[in-house]
Amino acid sequence: MGSTTDGSNGPEGVGRRDLIKRSAALGLISVPTMGVLSACASSGGGGEEKAEAGEKTAKNPLGVNDATQMEFVLFDGGFGKEYGQDAVKLYEKSFPKAKVKFSATQKIQSTLQPRFNQGTPPDLIDNSGAEQMDMGVLVGKKQLADLTPLLDAPSYDNPDKKVRDTLRPGIVEMGQFDGDPVWIMYYAYTVYGVWYSQKALDSLDEQYPETWDQMLAVCEKAKKKGMAGWTYAGKYPYYIPFSLYPMIAKVGGREVLDAIDNLEPNAWKHPAVKASFEAYYELYKKGYVLRGTPGLDHIQSQTAWAQGKALFLPNGSWVENESANVIPKDFGLAVSAPTGLDSSDKMPFGTIWASGAEPFVVPAKAKNPAGGMEQLRIMLSEASSRNFTSKVKSLSAYNGGTTGITLTPGLESGQAALEKAGDNVVNPRIQDWYVKLQKEQIGVAGLGEMMAGRMTPAEAIKKIQGFADAAAKDTSIKHYKHQ
């Protein structure tokens, strides 16, 4: 696979913050082998002594030692580094005697792996991009600090409110792998779904389709006008689940996704999975997918879509920032929850995938963990969140931070989609828990082959179920389950 990274626009960049994400939250592209990841998370090295704790006060609730250096390594992807630099200035203002060593890189793993091995990691890391370190491995080998002290600290803006009470739904749970400890703070908040041009839809005199029959009718209309119905990142087909997974939940209920996350036997053979796969395969069979899509990367597919060559694109809300230079001003960028099958679906139209992205961690062997957590507390303030949203066109984990900002079209549409969804927000965990399974096997070897017409839905389901069964039996990887 390519060397693309999360969310950046350069030759090295995509942004699934976490996928990945790029995850996300801006995902990822090439995944290091498990052996490398395990080495990266191995305990070796004696490490340095922890910084002496400072005095806990109302303004310093985490007890940061104001004379100790804090080191912060940020992933330099689609969100850029300015928002991190701005937050560092606030840290330095609070602790004028403390020196902050800030750096930004796309090479997270190769830069930090030796330091994890030596026991001398930084105090705060934005663990994202193509070289994201495997979270499951880091958690399993106890390489991360529990962030509960941060979550239980008074929020930056209101001492009567804990940090955890200022966060968007699902953020705390996403940082958990085995019950109570919270190992990861996802800073961005991504809306995944089907992205489109309202102008293009209006030109067809159509509304966004809520049933699959309507979807096929809209695609047929577009085809007659010389526009493909869909395109996607063919080289990185793990983008397809951004709309396919919530469709599966809509059709069969969120418990179908939970079973998939839990690697349960025959989870992929559920009727809702079969029906959703067959629906997407129809797009290929009826010629509604842009010709050449299987050979396009994320930037190429987004560019073709922005140029009006295709109507619909499964993606995350980072797409607005990542494709800003190719989306026309009058495009009318919008996102919708995935189309369902029909009125028999278990969940209502509006069911959408939204979750944290851009995963920040404090290493267990950090010299100044209180400093790393305090930097996150600052970033989770209203002012820092508003700064992030205005600069990178993404919501943050802070539940607010949009007051006084003129929202961009994509951001405004994403907000509206979240409001429409209400409680019907799903958050598949397979991409966090089993990175290789999600990206290389389900994505590339399964869905990518099916959407390219080289595999039927039945064959893809059989193959993916085989991959999931193998992962479930693999004793070399840590397994997680919904609590």
Instruction: Provide DSSP, 197-216.
Output: EHHHHHHTT----SSHHHHH
Inform me whether the pLDDT recorded for 102 exceeds 70. Answer: yes
Confidence of residue 361 (pLDDT cuts 50, 70, 90): very high
Average pLDDT, whole number, for the chain?
Answer: 89
The answer as to whether 420 is a domain residue is: no
Number of domains in the chain: 1
Looking at 13-27, 116-130, 400-414, 442-456, which range is the least confident one?
Answer: 13-27
How much is the pLDDT for 358?
92
pLDDT digits (tens, 9 = 90+) for 61-77: 999 999 999 999 999 98
Q: Is 94 within a domain? A: yes
> What Rg do the C-alpha atoms of the chain give, in angstroms?
22
In a domain? residue 424: no
Domain that holds residue 158: 34-190+356-410
Would residue 342 count as lying in a domain? no
10 Å CB burial of residue 35 (0-12, 13-18, 19+) is exposed
Cα separation, 409 vs 394, in Å, equals 11
pTM attached to this predicted model:
0.79
Per residue in 189-200, pLDDT tens?
999 999 999 999
Q: Report pLDDT for 48.
A: 56
| Mean pLDDT, residues 247-258 | 98
Residue among 235, 429, 194, 423 at smallest CA distance from 317: 194
Q: What is the pLDDT of residue 97?
A: 94
Count the alpha carbons within 13 Å of 311 in the hemisphere toward its beta carbon. 30
Residue 399 clears pLDDT 70, i.e. is over it: yes
Residue 119 lies in a domain: yes
pLDDT 10s digits, 423-433 = 899 999 998 88
Asked if the structure places residue 172 within a domain, the reply is yes
Domain CATH for 366: 3.40.190.10
Alpha-carbon span 243 to 458, nearest angstrom: 20
d(CA 230, CA 52) in angstroms, rounded, equals 56
Backbone angles phi, psi at 7, to 5 degrees: 70, 5
How far from 188 is each of 17, 51, 163, 388, 397, CA to CA, in Å?
A: 9, 29, 15, 9, 5
**What tokens appear for 155 in the block?**
């929020």
468 or 45, which is more confident?
468
pLDDT in tens, 191-245: 999 999 999 999 999 999 999 999 999 999 999 999 999 999 999 999 999 999 9
Q: Is residue 444 part of a domain?
A: no
Is the pLDDT score of 21 beyond 80? no
In this predicted structure, the answer to whether residue 182 has a pLDDT above a threshold of 80 is yes
| Residue 165 within any structural domain of the chain | yes
